[in-house]
Amino acid sequence: MTTKSLLLVLALLLTQLVSAQTEKQRIYGEVGLGFGQTTFGSSTKSQLRQALGGSFNPGIVGNSSMAFYFAPESWKGLGIGSRIKGAAAGSVIGEFGDSYFFNYYNLSASAKYYAISKTFNKGWYVRANAGFGQLTTKRANEKTNTYVHQFAIGSTYTGGIGYTVPFQKTALSLEVEAETSSRSGTVNGVGDVTITNGQIGMNLIWSF
């Protein structure tokens, strides 16, 4: 191999290494914390009454999330990836004076698009998610020391809009989101039930 050929091979290898490094930098991770107001569908209270022997009005939940996005520069602000979100609430008092606990989570495919800046992790964005998840509720009567659980699993869809402030190697985003879910479960003595719930929330997200 001649010196010229060797230099050409080394140049090609260096180009590939630089390209690979650039692609690695186009994979973004994020973690988020927030809160939201849970909402129930019109039939959900009656379904929970069947499942748990009582019902309750949902309260404020705490949100936590993690996600990653693949967003090459050639995609002009579009990122595709996956997101997992969990929501947990403290106890609320139900219609019979019992304590109710509930939490839910979902794992979804996610798309985030910075339509104005055309640069991922900079400026205004919209986000859409579609996936599946779980809802768990528990009725607790401390006087009688009895506990009743309900578990349901099904589909979840989420949409969000937010604004990202970029830093040198990280970014910070504030977003609002709306979520809707339909989950099915089976209750002894009742059969199949469908629980529909949603959430209106706000999240603070750190990305890197």
Q: How does pLDDT run along the chain (208 residues), one tens digit per residue?
A: 555 565 565 566 555 545 544 555 589 999 999 999 999 887 888 888 877 888 888 889 999 999 999 999 999 999 999 999 999 998 888 888 888 888 999 999 999 999 999 999 999 999 999 999 999 988 887 677 777 888 899 999 999 999 999 999 999 999 999 999 999 987 766 678 888 999 999 999 999 9
CATH number reported for the structural domain that contains residue 42 in this entry: 2.40.160.20
Structure tokens at 17: 């290494």
- Count how many domains the chain has: 1
Give the pLDDT score at 17.
47
* Residue 96 maps to a domain: yes
Distances in Å between the Cα of 166 and the Cα atoms of 8, 83, 176, 199 are: 38, 20, 18, 28
Please report whether residue 18 resides in a domain. no
* Residue 125 · residue 113 · CB < 8 Å: yes
* Domain limits for position 61: 28-207
126 in any annotated domain: yes
pLDDT of residue 33: 98
The values of phi and psi at residue 3, to 5°, are -60, -40
CA distances to 8, 71, 144 from 22, rounded to whole Å, are 21, 11, 62
CA distance 168 to 207: 11
Is 1 among the domain residues?
A: no
* pTM across the whole model: 0.80
Query: Residue 20's pLDDT is what?
Result: 45
Residue pointed to by tokens 């939940």: 61
Contact 158, 81 (CB under 8 A): no
* Residue 19 included in any domain: no
pLDDT of 172: 98
- Continuous segment of H or E residues that includes residue 162: strand 146-166
Distance between CA atoms of residues 91 and 100, nearest Å: 5
